[in-house]
């Protein structure tokens, strides 16, 4: 890409060589026009100007052409010689000097032109490089943009994957609680059957029992509500849905988790002791995900104490408020009195697919930890006095509000 | 309903289950006393009357099976109907071997449950009669003096007054007087009656 420098006319050879002819002719005509009987006008200065102009404009060739034309014009007496009366031979040294002068001016002009051209070239090159660099930068920018977009979509995909994984692990966990769930639904259903059968008996034996039948119907409604609550809870746990944080009290959370696992806890002859500090600040968490974390800890603890004698089949579930570096927080602790965690295993506990149980997937703890961390908290195995293992989940709490 | 003065005890930790059972059994004309735990049941006084126990197998604290064992250890022979959330064959075998009347899986048919209760109460009514008789015999036996008990023990083996007198180192006349007192205090119509009573007391002692 060339940026035009100076007049484009200068580039054309025809113009460069036509100019000396025109200039010399013009100088000669002008000199002749001024010539009269009694005034002698020397043609040389104007011709000299024409030659220098030609040399400057067109370079060495046009300059010399102008000098030759001027010399010719003087020699042929078309233009009056500088000193009238001198012969051509006498004028020769003057014409030679004149030609050398023109040659010299042409040479300087040429050098200047060359310098100009170099400058132009350098400028062109600079501009080309600037353009190239700009193109490079915009390409880099485009690449960066696409990388950012890629990264963003990868992050989104990761989040989706984590949700999927959490869901799968939740469903797996619920598989372990099938007996518990069936029991929780069967209890109120059995009760409803009892009330219905009793009511039929009461009605069969006479209508004076209407008040009793009414009572039975009331209780049927209550038990139906209980059964549907259980199903709603289980459905919420098994559903796959995006994170949805809400304000929750620690007590509600713990009560729900223990309600879901209640039968399992009993069936395994485990005692759960809860110790929730008074006045705990509320949490801002996803209910289902947090239930998953706590259920997972409780199930792990149950597995840990299963082989213990009855007096050691104890799980302690406690919560206390604390101040973390990020503000108020709640620490929930699940501690068992099982064999404890082998120190060599402790580091690998939160690694995916690492399980100490024969049927374990090894996903429970890593997923629990990722859930807690996504809530801005921490989940760790913590040292505890005596036998057993203790896990603590620290979760940021909402500011304590005045009751 | 021929429920009479019989009592059905219900022990179940689940409130829905317990209350509905209580309602159903009461609607069938029985007196019901329900407890949320084995401990609460053991702590409450039980009048001497025909009764049975409807017992949940799985409970926190003392389980149903453990309560069955505990009652057996205490010598309380209360007919037990077990109920459980989901059938567990080894558990039901253990329960039946230990003398349970029935092992029902929730949800059960109400007529199955009520039939089991009727059967259990009938069984306990017979036992109840025996228990009353035993208590009466023991009360009578407790009225005997130590000497009269010795005489009774010898007489029921078939010895004559003279032989008893020789064995106990007393006169035949004294033994005869003791024997009369024994027959009177034990309210025995004949020697055969006294022998039967002695056997019962002996078996129980």
Q: Give per-residue pLDDT as tens, B44-68.
A: 998 888 999 999 988 877 888 899 9
* Cα-based distances in Å from B5 to A94, A211, B2, B78: 163, 24, 9, 15
Answer whether the bond into residue A79 is a cis peptide, omega within 30°.
no
Provide the pLDDT for residue A12. Answer: 78
B85 and A263 within 8 Å at the Cβ level: the answer is: yes
pLDDT at A80 over 70: no
pLDDT at A77 over 80: no
Q: Which residue of A has its CA nearest to B57?
A: A267
Could you read off the pLDDT of B161-175 as tens digits, one per residue? 888 888 888 888 888
Provide the pLDDT for residue A11. Answer: 62
Phi, psi of B100 (to 5 degrees): -70, 145
- 10 Å Cβ neighbour count for A101? 16
* B60: chain A residues, CB-CB within 8 Å: 266, 271
Whether the CB of A79 is below 8 Å from some CB of chain B: the reply is: no
Provide the pLDDT for residue A2. Answer: 43
Question: E strands within chain B?
Answer: 7-11, 31-35, 51-56, 80-84, 102-105
Q: How far apart are CA A219 and CA A221, in angstroms?
A: 5
A190 and B59 within 8 Å at the Cβ level: the answer is: no
B85 and A193 within 8 Å at the Cβ level: the answer is: no
In Å, how far is A215's CA from the nearest CA of chain B?
10
Q: How far apart are CA A52 and CA A316, in angstroms?
A: 109
- Of the listed ranges A118-132, A217-231, B146-160, the least confidently predicted one is B146-160
Q: Which residue of B has its CA nearest to A187?
A: B17
pLDDT at A5 over 50: no
Phi, psi of A366 (to 5 degrees): -60, -40
Whether the CB of B28 is below 8 Å from some CB of chain A: the reply is: yes
pLDDT at A268 over 80: yes
Whether the CB of B27 is below 8 Å from some CB of chain A: the reply is: yes
In Å, how far is A310's CA from the nearest CA of chain B?
10
**Highest mean pLDDT pick, A35-44, B18-27, B93-102:** B18-27
A263 and B86 within 8 Å at the Cβ level: the answer is: no
| CB contact at 8 A, A292 and A360 | no
Q: Which residue of A has its CA nearest to B113?
A: A194
Please compute the mean of the pLDDT values over residues A90-110 and round it to a whole number: 76
Whether the CB of B118 is below 8 Å from some CB of chain A: the reply is: no
How many Cβ pairs closer than 8 A exist between chain A and B?
A: 71
Please compute the mean of the pLDDT values over residues A334-344 and round it to a whole number: 85
Give one DSSP letter per residue of A65-134, joined into a string. HHHHHHHHHHHTTSS--SSTT--HHHHHHHHHHHHHHHHHHHHHHHHHHHHHHHHHHHHHHHHHHHHHHH
In Å, how far is A194's CA from the nearest CA of chain B?
6
Closest CA to A361 of A269, A313, A299: A299
Whether the CB of B24 is below 8 Å from some CB of chain A: the reply is: yes
Cα radius of gyration rounded to whole Å, chain B: 23
Please compute the mean of the pLDDT values over residues B56-85 and round it to a whole number: 88
Residue A45's H or E segment, with its range, is helix A44-58
pLDDT band at A245 (very low <50, low <70, confident <90, very high): confident
What's the burial of A82, exposed, middle or buried (CB within 10 Å: 0-12/13-18/19+)?
A: middle
Provide the pLDDT for residue A148. Answer: 94
Q: Which residue of A has its CA nearest to B56?
A: A187
In Å, how far is B130's CA from the nearest CA of chain A?
33
Provide the pLDDT for residue A87. Answer: 66
* B17: chain A residues, CB-CB within 8 Å: 187, 190-191
- Of the listed ranges A247-261, A289-303, A389-403, B19-33, the least confidently predicted one is A389-403
Provide the pLDDT for residue A4. Answer: 44
- Of the listed ranges A7-16, A24-33, A168-177, B99-108, the least confidently predicted one is A7-16
Phi, psi of B192 (to 5 degrees): -60, -40
Whether the CB of B14 is below 8 Å from some CB of chain A: the reply is: yes
Whether the CB of B188 is below 8 Å from some CB of chain A: the reply is: no
Provide the pLDDT for residue A41. Answer: 65
Q: Tell me the angle at which helices B161-168 and B146-155 cross, rounded to the nearest 10 degrees.
A: 130
Provide the pLDDT for residue B86. Answer: 65
In Å, how far is A283's CA from the nearest CA of chain B?
31
Candidates B17, B27, B85; nearest CB to A191:
B17
* A209: chain B residues, CB-CB within 8 Å: 27
Give one DSSP letter per residue of A366-381, joined into a string. HHHHHHHHHTT-EEEE
Candidates B13, B21, B58; nearest CB to A194:
B21
Q: Which residue of A has its CA nearest to B111?
A: A197
Provide the pLDDT for residue B1. Answer: 41
Provide the pLDDT for residue A1. Answer: 42
In Å, how far is B82's CA from the nearest CA of chain A?
15
Quote the mean pLDDT of chain B. Answer: 86
Q: What is the largest CA-CA distance in chain B?
A: 72
Whether the CB of A266 is below 8 Å from some CB of chain B: the reply is: yes
A263 and B108 within 8 Å at the Cβ level: the answer is: no
- 10 Å Cβ neighbour count for B13? 20
Show the tokens assigned to B141.
Answer: 């036996």
Neighbour-count burial for A154-183, b at 16+ CB within 10 Å, e otherwise? eeeeeeeeebeebbebbeebbebbeebbeb
Q: How far apart are CA A281 and CA A327, in angstroms?
A: 12
Candidates A179, A199, A266; nearest CB to B86:
A179
Whether the CB of B59 is below 8 Å from some CB of chain A: the reply is: yes
B85 and A202 within 8 Å at the Cβ level: the answer is: no
In Å, how far is B91's CA from the nearest CA of chain A?
12
Provide the pLDDT for residue A9. Answer: 54
- Chain A, 203-262: which have a CB under 8 Å from a chain B CB? 209, 212, 215-216, 219, 222-223, 226
Candidates B27, B58, B86; nearest CB to A198:
B27
* Assembly ipTM: 0.74
Candidates A186, A226, A269; nearest CB to B107:
A186
Whether the CB of B197 is below 8 Å from some CB of chain A: the reply is: no
B20 and A263 within 8 Å at the Cβ level: the answer is: no
More confident site: A289 or A73: A289
Show the tokens assigned to A396.
Answer: 């940021």
pLDDT band at B32 (very low <50, low <70, confident <90, very high): very high
| CB contact at 8 A, B11 and B46 | no
Quote the mean pLDDT of chain A. Answer: 83
């Amino acid at each position: 890409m060339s940026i035009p420098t100076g007049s484009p006319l200068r580039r054309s050879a025809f113009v460069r060589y036509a100019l000396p002819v025109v200039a010399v002719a013009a100088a000669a005509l002008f000199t002749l026009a001024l010539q009269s009987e009694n005034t002698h006008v020397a043609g040389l200065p104007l011709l000299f100007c024409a030659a220098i102009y030609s040399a400057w404009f067109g370079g060495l060739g046009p300059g010399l052409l102008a000098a030759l034309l001027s010399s010719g014009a003087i020699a042929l007496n078309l233009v009056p010689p500088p000193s009238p009366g001198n012969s051509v031979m006498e004028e020769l040294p003057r014409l030679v000097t004149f030609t050398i002068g023109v040659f010299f001016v042409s040479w300087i002009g040429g050098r200047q032109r060359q310098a100009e051209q170099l400058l132009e070239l350098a400028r062109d090159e600079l501009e080309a490089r600037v353009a190239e660099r700009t193109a490079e930068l915009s390409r880099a920018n485009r690449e960066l943009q696409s990388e950012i977009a890629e990264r963003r979509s990868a992050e989104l995909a990761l989040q989706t994957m984590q949700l999927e994984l959490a869901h799968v692990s939740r469903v797996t966990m619920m598989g372990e609680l099938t007996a518990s769930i069936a029991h929780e639904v069967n209890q109120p259903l059995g009760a409803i059957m009892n009330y219905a059968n009793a009511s039929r008996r009461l009605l069969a034996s006479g209508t004076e029992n209407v008040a009793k039948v009414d009572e039975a119907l009331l209780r049927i409604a209550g038990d139906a509500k209980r059964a549907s609550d259980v199903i709603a809870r289980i459905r919420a746990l098994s559903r796959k849905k995006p994170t949805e944080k809400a304000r929750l009290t620690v007590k509600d959370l713990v009560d729900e988790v223990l309600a879901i696992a209640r039968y399992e806890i009993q069936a395994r002859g485990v005692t759960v002791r809860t110790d929730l500090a008074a006045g705990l600040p509320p949490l801002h968490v996803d209910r289902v995900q947090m239930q998953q974390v706590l259920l997972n800890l409780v199930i792990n603890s149950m597995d840990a104490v299963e082989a213990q004698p009855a007096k050691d089949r104890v799980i302690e579930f406690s919560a206390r408020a604390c101040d973390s570096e990020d503000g108020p927080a709640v620490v929930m602790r699940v501690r068992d009195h099982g064999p404890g965690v082998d120190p060599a295993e402790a580091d690998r506990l939160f690694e995916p697919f690492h399980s100490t149980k024969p049927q374990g997937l090894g996903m429970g703890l890593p997923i629990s930890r990722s859930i807690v961390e996504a809530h801005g908290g921490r989940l760790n195995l913590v040292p505890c006095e005596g036998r057993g293992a203790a896990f603590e989940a620290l979760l940021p709490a909402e500011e304590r509000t005045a009751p | 309903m021929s429920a009479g003065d019989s009592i059905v005890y219900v022990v179940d930790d689940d409130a829905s289950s317990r209350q509905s059972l209580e309602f159903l059994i009461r609607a069938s004309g029985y007196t019901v006393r329900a407890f949320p735990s084995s401990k609460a049941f053991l702590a409450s006084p039980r009048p001497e009357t025909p009764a049975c126990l409807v017992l949940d197998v799985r409970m926190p604290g003392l389980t149903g099976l453990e309560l069955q064992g505990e009652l057996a250890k205490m010598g309380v022979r209360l007919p037990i109907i077990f109920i459980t959330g989901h059938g567990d064959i080894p558990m039901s075998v253990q329960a039946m071997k230990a003398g349970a009347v029935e092992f029902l899986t929730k949800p059960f048919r109400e007529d199955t449950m009520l039939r089991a209760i009727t059967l259990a109460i009938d069984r306990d009514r017979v036992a109840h009669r025996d228990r009353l008789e035993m208590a009466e015999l023991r009360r009578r036996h407790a009225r005997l003096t130590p000497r009269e008990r010795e005489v009774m023990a010898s007489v029921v083996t078939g010895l004559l007054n003279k032989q008893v007198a020789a064995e106990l180192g007393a006169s035949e006349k004294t033994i005869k007087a003791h024997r009369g007192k024994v027959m009177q205090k034990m309210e025995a119509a004949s020697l055969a009656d006294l022998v039967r009573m002695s056997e019962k007391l002996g078996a129980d002692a």
